Amino acid sequence: MFTLAHRITLTTLLLALASPSLAWFSWFKSSYAETRYPIVLAHGMAGFDNIGPLNYWYGIPGDLKARGGTVYLTQVSSFNSSEVRGEQLLAQVEDILAISGASKVNLIGHSHGSQSVRYVAAVMPGRIASATAVGGPNKGSPVADLVDDVSGLVGDDLTGVVGSIVSGFGSIIGLAAGEKLPQDALAGLYSLTTEGAADFNRRFPAGVPTTACGDGAHRVNGVRYYSWSGTRHLTNALDPIDIPLAATGAAFIGKSDWQNDGLVGRCSSHLGDVIRDDYRMNHLDEVNQVVGLTYLFETDPVVVFRNHANRLKNAGL
């Protein structure tokens, strides 16, 4: 039988055992995304200006900050060349370095933001700890090729699959489907064609695989390179953007790099250390869009970012 003294002793012992583990759990939870260097997010080509850079990464910055991460959001032209967008990001990264006092930053770019972070990492590698591409069209996109090819055509001139691909692209980037794309969009679009991407890669090759579908160099000039992407279209019945992404995905039919997220091929997304290239995500699921409507039964895009922050932390970055 336990005496009162025994009970007090036992209770004290249990509390003593519980307290450090609770403290440890709390510490673990709050520092999981606490990287050594701040994380800087760079958005892609899209008509997201109206909702601003915060909501582009739906729920992601808040999640990282809740786990000890320091996150900076950037905003560049929605539609412009990789170089112009890269220069815009460079100026913002210089500001972030000055404001934060950090010696380096970790860059993460989605979609055309991949070229932006690669540009900055190439221009000032000494100040960049890592560059990560999420759904990045590093070797271009057949959707861009097709839209670029037919951009002079409008309305009734576009029929069948080609028309639905162009309309789908228009819907995704926030323009009226079927209308002629504005010239600034076309200028930016060229950067994402196979030809435009190859031209950029000749000048900024760091991390880009030299094989058709392998990893790229994991470290170039001291900068670590990473990437991930998805290969699905219809992932959530409530998300209106899934249908246009399935339409643009038709541009990949017959291509060697045929698996895609609706806009970017699986192999084209590869940069540096390929973390995974077949998540059950479409191009916008990758940034938890639209408003968190993603596939319910597999990896949450927010968790993928969270785990990457932890990966950077564990790498001392």
Q: Which residues are catalytic?
A: 111, 261, 283
The stretch near Ca ion (CB under 5 A) out of 116-124, 162-170, 201-209, 285-293 is 285-293
Region of residue 273 (left: phi > 0; alpha: psi -120 to 50; beta: else): beta
Which residue, 57 or 72, is less far from Ca ion as judged by CB? 57
Least Cβ distance, residue 235 to Ca ion (angstroms): 6
- Give, as ranges, the residues between 162 and 221 that touch Ca ion (CB under 5 A): none
Which residue, 105 or 293, is less far from Ca ion as judged by CB? 293
**Does residue 286 bind Ca ion (CB under 5 A)?**
no
Contact 242, 233 (CB under 8 A): yes
The stretch near Ca ion (CB under 5 A) out of 81-89, 116-124, 125-133, 289-297 is 289-297
Separation of alpha carbons 86 and 82, rounded Å: 6
**Does residue 261 bind Ca ion (CB under 5 A)?**
no
Least Cβ distance, residue 260 to Ca ion (angstroms): 15
**Using CB under 5 A, which of 148, 257, 285, 286 touches Ca ion?**
285
Q: Which residues lie below 8 Å from residue 149, measured CB to CB, with a gap of 6+?
A: none
How many of the other CB atoms lie within 10 Å of CB of 54? 14
Least Cβ distance, residue 43 to Ca ion (angstroms): 16
Which residue, 244 or 272, is less far from Ca ion as judged by CB? 244
Which residue, 83 or 300, is less far from Ca ion as judged by CB? 300
The stretch near Ca ion (CB under 5 A) out of 104-112, 187-195, 225-233, 238-246 is 238-246
Question: Each residue of 188-199: b (16+ CB within 10 Å) or e?
Answer: bbbbbbbebbee
Separation of alpha carbons 58 and 2, rounded Å: 55
Which residue, 46 or 293, is less far from Ca ion as judged by CB? 293
**Using CB under 5 A, which of 63, 239, 257, 286 touches Ca ion?**
239
| Total of residues contacting Ca ion (CB under 5 A) | 4
Least Cβ distance, residue 44 to Ca ion (angstroms): 15
Give the residue nearest to Ca ion (CB): 239
CB burial of residue 120 (10 Å; 0-12, 13-18, 19+): buried
The stretch near Ca ion (CB under 5 A) out of 26-34, 182-190, 235-243, 300-308 is 235-243
Question: Which tokens is 7 given?
Answer: 């009970």
Contact 114, 76 (CB under 8 A): no
Q: Which long-range contacts (CB under 8 A, 24 or more apart) does 146-150 make?
A: 146/251, 147/181, 147/189, 148/186, 148/189, 148/190, 148/193
Which residue, 148 or 285, is less far from Ca ion as judged by CB? 285
The stretch near Ca ion (CB under 5 A) out of 7-15, 74-82, 209-217, 232-240 is 232-240
How many of the other CB atoms lie within 10 Å of CB of 280? 15
Least Cβ distance, residue 279 to Ca ion (angstroms): 12
Mutual orientation of helices 194-203 and 183-191 as an angle, nearest 10°?
Answer: 60
CA distances from 268 to 180, 254, 277 (A): 27, 15, 10
Which residue, 43 or 224, is less far from Ca ion as judged by CB? 43
Least Cβ distance, residue 27 to Ca ion (angstroms): 34
**Does residue 293 bind Ca ion (CB under 5 A)?**
yes
* Contact set with Ca ion (CB under 5 A): 239, 285, 293-294
